[in-house]
Structure 1
């Protein structure tokens, strides 16, 4: 088989979307599965500057990541014109919370073209059971396949000297994700600032967009909130490994790649029930229901944990990822591709 992965953005600022595609690509390379990647915003990677028409024409199957934009409409059109199998990963864009944003615009787009595209592709790929269930509620006709993202376990030894240089002896609560209201980051900063526990610092690593810079200026006097800026791969490894807890208080996540990444470094997680990670509660993390109502108390619960409690959470992290290892997940993707090709 010869596959094409297409996405309208592979910029690092796009968050987990680009990482998920590149990670899947790396795993398929190990299994000698031929594939290419096409994007409209290509990070300056010359190997991706292909003509989409020719790429689709010369591939056996198209796996398109994302919906709504003209890029994805064009993908659908070219796949149908060339009679190529098409799998679509909506990447959480059909979840209730994002659908409630710009509601009228999305309703019109869904009615005019997006429903037709989703109804007429070969499979829709959901990354969590929660996402699959929400897609079913919309009455989409295409078959839905649930395959989560995969990970490899990491055993990075924490650099305690580096940790102390950042935290000055405090425990670290890490936020490492896009600085976007969807992620609950503004509410997190507000509640952390209100509690102002001197034994903990909130370390925020994110791309420095306008909202990031505004918050950094607003909370510059709180020395327990540290705006780290964006992280490269080496920085991410260090930050996950030295942090005592990771926090992602999202209003909506179809998967939450950063949560899985944190667990892979044995860093326990505080997150909301709007993510598909509720099974972590009291095992490798804590889960709360409502961002506005419950985040404050949940932060206090984390701050009240003893060192022994945190170590227990850390020791459970890898076990809670046993169903997400790439060895299994990559085979699930390959089976989906084979099943799709067998329809033709």
Structure 2
């Protein structure tokens, strides 16, 4: 069987989603033919990728990428011609809110494009934490959008049982496929870095945005009574939010050192985690949370909120799940970690890696598009 999936996702060449998309395309079965439709530039960039804008680039025998300029009419004409030149079995879209999701679904509703099935992956956008941000606009949109999605019999992909429940809470009629492993995750833990004496070393790796809740992490660090160091890695997605973070950093007490250290390349993430005692991550919600797995695989215990699918794994992996993840409660958890001896910190790192190894041995999932084909019939 040959299936053609149209995947809509901005920022194909940069940021966190790129690893997921590359992994999906690189692990396709031979009988799938996939065209990825993506923006012709990085998120928020005014300039398109050189020599790629408006082009369909063939990656291999199974996949191609179309770089779309949203404001370029000729790109849309070229894209529609390409889509209508062959039967389309599946449209697979990421995000409820993105134009890369709304426009193709509208095209199907208006019969401009004919497909056998649509699958929508909300990517954590239906978590309580995500819906609380600009909640009024989102609830209004969902009230209008939900009847159309139901009429088109849109299928849903969740990355975990947690996200499955969140989808069902908003769309009780939803047909949901659960498939979480869409990034290359290590088969084995990384070599360990020996723990050290001195202040507790904490790290944050993630997007600097309200959802990742860095402000609460900073408040927790400021409220800790033991000496510690806290390094922050990640893109500054929200300037106003980053300004709030900067104010908290500038007001840190003398026994706390906080540094912003820029962005990390994908191959730098695990070596970076391995040099720290704990990953501080009071996220408001993760549909999956690959960064948590990368931390554990690096032998770095996680201190996290209870808003991820991995609470049990985190608690068993030398870290702590803080409920509720208030700044005060997190501060107390950090003080307990800081009181550990060098030997106890080393043991916690070994536990994190060992627990990850056991978890990894149990995880085997299909390529998400192959799974979607089977799920949609």
Smaller-chain TM-score range? 0.7 to 0.9
Aligned to 1:300: 335
Q: Distance in 2 between matches of 1:65 and 1:89?
A: 5
User: What is the root-mean-square deviation in Å for CA atoms of aligned residues?
Assistant: 2.9
Contact 1:251-1:272 at 8 Å conserved across structures: yes
Aligned to 2:205: 176
Aligned to 1:193: 222
Higher CA-based Rg: 2
The 1:337/1:266 distance shift into structure 2, 3 A limit, reads: farther
Q: 1:137 aligns with which of 169, 177, 183?
A: 169
Q: Distance in 2 between matches of 1:32 and 1:267?
A: 39
The 1:149/1:201 distance shift into structure 2, 3 A limit, reads: same
Shift of 1:133: 1.0
Kindly indicate whether residue 358 of structure 2 is the aligned counterpart of residue 319 of structure 1. yes
Matched position secondary structure for 1:337? helix
| Structure richer in helix, relative to its length | 1
Q: Distance in 2 between matches of 1:203 and 1:252?
A: 21
The 1:148/1:83 distance shift into structure 2, 3 A limit, reads: same
Correspondences of 1:199-210 after superposition (within 5 Å): 200-209=228-237, 210=239
Matched position secondary structure for 2:329? helix
Q: Distance in 1 between matches of 2:139 and 2:236?
A: 31
Q: 1:212 aligns with which of 242, 247, 250?
A: 242
Bigger mean CA offset, 47-56 vs 63-72: 47-56
> Structure 1-normalised TM-score?
0.83
Shift of 1:172: 2.6
Q: Distance in 1 between matches of 2:314 and 2:192?
A: 24
Q: Give the unaligned 5+ runs of structure 1.
A: none
Q: Distance in 2 between matches of 1:259 and 1:173?
A: 14
Aligned length: 329
Aligned to 1:251: 284
Contact 2:40-2:67 at 8 Å conserved across structures: no
Q: Distance in 2 between matches of 1:218 and 1:288?
A: 21
Q: Deviations over 1:13-44 (max 9, x none)?
A: 5x4x4432222222227x56432211135432
Q: 1:289 aligns with which of 323, 329, 337?
A: 323
> Structure 2-normalised TM-score?
0.77
Aligned to 1:26: 26
Shift of 1:10: 3.6
